[in-house]
Structure 1
Amino acid sequence: MKFFIVKEDGAPIYTGVITGTHKWRIPGVDTCAACGVTWGNNSRAYPSVDLSPVASLADFVEPRAEPIEEYERLCELVRPFLPPGALLEPGTNLGPIVGTALGRFGQLVTSYPQWLLVQREALEKLQAEGLQGLKAIPAQLRFRQRNAPELLELELLPVGRAYPDCLPTEREPSCPRCGRFGLSLPKDLLLDAATLPNQLDVFRLEDLSTVIVCTERFAKACKRLKLDGVVFDPVPVSRLKKRASIK
């Protein structure tokens, strides 16, 4: 099976702008006791999560960094509400996108590189194609225009990894406490076939979470249905025996 990276179509006709963020978030880590790094990564998002039953909701509103112990405590409060297969890390977004929107959007939207939204009609067409894993949550956006589209965010689970040979030989190991590893997107990305899913047609890479990947089925369906707003860049897949694993 072939795979593609989903990217924004930069054509000037797409003037849409979203100003907002997800309703809740996990704080970043302030000076991890194990690796000494202060960090957070807001590319992961689980819009289906509803934290309303949590008593201390205020702890998940303000973007900030917390000591590792507080971060771990808050993660445990959130875990019961996560979808199967979700991973938590500092800065993870939860709940629907809340904010404002203005302009012309395509049927598929990646105004933010790490989020993928879809108009309602386009979602229904894709679901009718039998594509797998298309779970979408309505964004809570106030449009400053008439005839505004209804945008939903696709919940992208973390699946699939880069093939080790496309990554620097000398790279930081993952932190055993906070999970941080200093990976940057390689110039020539190569996917590890052994880690790619059979049951999802669009997903987020586990180790490079800003990368959204789809199957050939998804890309072909979008082109056949003439769904605009994104482009599909082919990404090679390695089926060779791995030299090393990412820790």
Structure 2
Amino acid sequence: MRYFIVEEDKSAGYTGDVDASHKWGLPGVDSCPTCKATWSDTSRAYPSVDLSSVASLADFVEARAEPLEEYERLRELVRPLCPPGAQLEPGTSLGPLVGRAQGRFGSLAAPYPWWLLVQREALDRLQAERLRGLKGCPTQLRFRQRNAPELLELELLSAGRLHPDCLPPKRELRCTRCGRFGHTLPKSRLLDATTIPSGMDVFRLEDFSTVIVCTERFVDACRRLGLDGVAFLPLPLSPTR
């Protein structure tokens, strides 16, 4: 099986633009006691999560940084409402996309590298191909145009990691207290074959959540169905030992 990075196809000529954010989110961390970093990562999102029943809902509306202990308290408060195994790092986005959209969109769209939107008809056709792990979540995007598309957001679970050969040697990259991963996305990328998930044809990487990865099965289905709007860049796979 081959794997690919999913990115916006800038050559497709679509004019679609999205100005939105997710309805809720976890706070960032303010000055981790171990690594001293203040940080958050809003690229990881679970749009199926509904926090409307949470008593302290206001705690998840404003983007901000909190002491590590407060972030951990809020994280455990919402964990039962999230998909099994969800990675709930500081800044994780929750709930539907809310905002404005305009222009022409392809069958799929990646207005940001870490979002993957899909038109309703395209998702139905992909699901009919029996691709695995495709969960489309409603958005709350407002269009000021006729014949506006119905855009859904694919909920991308975290799975798979880049191979250690891509990263600096002999360096501790993840804080043992807050979990911060202290390395930028390498230009040369190699998917670790030992971390490939089963049962998923599209996912985001565990260690670099801005990277969306899909299988050859997903690419073949999109091409066979004539679905456009995104490009597929080959992602080399490390040899198994």
- TM-score by length of structure 2 reads 0.98
Hey, what does 2:203 align to over in structure 1?
203
Q: Conserved in 1, the CA contact under 8 Å of 2:194 and 2:240? A: no
State the shift of 1:170 in Å.
4.4
Hey, what does 1:137 align to over in structure 2?
137
Q: Does 1:62 align with 2:54?
A: no
Distance 2:60 2:176 in 1: 24
For 2:51, what is the secondary structure of its paired residue? coil
Hey, what does 2:76 align to over in structure 1?
76
State the shift of 1:4 in Å.
0.3
Hey, what does 1:214 align to over in structure 2?
214
Hey, what does 2:23 align to over in structure 1?
23
Hey, what does 1:39 align to over in structure 2?
39
Letter matched to residue 139 of structure 1:
T
Distance 1:203 1:11 in 2: 24
Letter matched to residue 13 of structure 1:
G
Question: After superposition, what is the alpha-carbon deviation per residue over 1:185-226, rounded to whole angstroms, capped at 9, x for unaligned?
Answer: 111100011100120000000001100000000001001111
Hey, what does 1:94 align to over in structure 2?
94
Hey, what does 1:163 align to over in structure 2?
163
Hey, what does 1:235 align to over in structure 2?
235
Letter matched to residue 52 of structure 2:
S
Q: Conserved in 2, the CA contact under 8 Å of 1:171 and 1:183? A: no
Hey, what does 1:9 align to over in structure 2?
9
Question: After superposition, what is the alpha-carbon deviation per residue over 1:73-106, rounded to whole angstroms, capped at 9, x for unaligned?
Answer: 1101110101012101011000010111000111
Work out the number of aligned pairs and report it: 241
Q: Where does the alignment leave 5 or more consecutive residues of structure 2 unmatched?
A: none
Q: Where does the alignment leave 5 or more consecutive residues of structure 1 unmatched?
A: 242-247
Question: After superposition, what is the alpha-carbon deviation per residue over 1:128-175, rounded to whole angstroms, capped at 9, x for unaligned?
Answer: 001000011011111010000000000000000001111111434311
State the shift of 1:183 in Å.
1.9
Distance 2:158 2:149 in 1: 28
Distance 1:106 1:44 in 2: 23
Distance 1:22 1:148 in 2: 20
State the shift of 1:60 in Å.
0.4
- TM-score by length of structure 1 reads 0.95
Q: Conserved in 2, the CA contact under 8 Å of 1:183 and 1:208? A: no
Letter matched to residue 106 of structure 2:
G
Hey, what does 1:150 align to over in structure 2?
150
Q: Conserved in 2, the CA contact under 8 Å of 1:136 and 1:155? A: yes
Q: Conserved in 1, the CA contact under 8 Å of 2:192 and 2:238? A: yes
Distance 1:94 1:71 in 2: 14
For 1:173, what is the secondary structure of its paired residue? coil
The alignment's C-alpha RMSD in Å is 1.0
Letter matched to residue 31 of structure 1:
S
Percentage of pairs with the same residue = 69
Q: Conserved in 2, the CA contact under 8 Å of 1:122 and 1:227? A: yes
For 2:32, what is the secondary structure of its paired residue? coil
Q: Conserved in 2, the CA contact under 8 Å of 1:172 and 1:181? A: no
State the shift of 1:69 in Å.
1.0
Hey, what does 2:182 align to over in structure 1?
182
Q: Conserved in 1, the CA contact under 8 Å of 2:173 and 2:183? A: no
Letter matched to residue 81 of structure 1:
L
Q: Conserved in 2, the CA contact under 8 Å of 1:158 and 1:206? A: yes
